[in-house]
Amino acid sequence: MTRAHDAAVLSRLREIRGLSELVFDGEPKGTKQPDGTVLRPSRYVNVHSNRGIGRPDRLAQATGGRKRKTYWIHSVGASKQHADAVAEAVIAALEGWSPAVDGFSCERLSHETSQPTQKEETSKPAIFFAVDVFDLYTTPLDPTL
């Protein structure tokens, strides 16, 4: 379940104009410099997710296999304005979108929360990042899975 859903979310984000090669699953790729530092793109999207959490349906008192997956999306830029622009594109792409995953019925993603854009100065040069959190509820079509 986890990898198929994650692949769908990553694919959706890679459809964002100008970000197709700049969406990463957990760790942005960079170029190692002779001095050992890693040079990363000036803007990118970094996606983290959990494996999904099963919760009983409050009305039916049964899980039916329904799980909640949470995505933490880090929108990174060289300035606050760049990070905010990337975050706005991510929100537009994911909010209310329902992924198509074989063998599952997926509900629309909901934008649960966000954090203010922050400056991270330990990177050289400094970067700015915004974090948005999305939830996805998904149920296997075959409840025995």
113 — phi, psi (to 5°)? -165, 170
Q: Where are the alpha helices (DSSP H) in the chain?
A: 2-14, 80-94
Q: Please determine, for residue 139, whether its predicted confidence score (pLDDT) is greater than 70.
A: yes
Question: Two tokens at 89?
Answer: 């594109």
Mean pLDDT of 72-82: 96
Across 35-59, average pLDDT: 77
Q: What is the pLDDT of residue 40?
A: 74
User: What is the band of 32 on the pLDDT scale with cuts at 50, 70, 90?
Assistant: low
Of residues 39, 47, 38, the one with CA closest to residue 16 = 47
Q: Are 101 and 4 spatial neighbours (Cβ–Cβ below 8 Å)? A: yes
pLDDT at 53: 82
Pairing of strands 44-49, 23-25: parallel
Structure-model confidence comparison of residues 92 and 61, the more confident one: 92
Cβ atoms within 10 A of the Cβ of 62, count?
A: 10
pLDDT of residue 122: 80
- Locate tokens 């899975």: which residue? 145
Confidence class for position 61, pLDDT limits 50, 70, 90? very low
What are the angstrom distances between the C-alpha of 129 and each of 8, 16, 44, 55, 125? 23, 18, 9, 31, 13
Residue type at position 43: R
| Cα gap 138→131, rounded to integer Å | 23
Closest CA to 137 of 60, 58, 65, 46: 65
Average pLDDT over residues 122-139: 91
Of all residues in the chain, what percent carry a pLDDT higher than 90? 62
**Which of 8-22, 39-53, 106-120 is predicted with the least confidence, judged by mean pLDDT?**
39-53
Give the chain's domains with CATH numbers. Answer: 2-140 (3.30.2000.10)
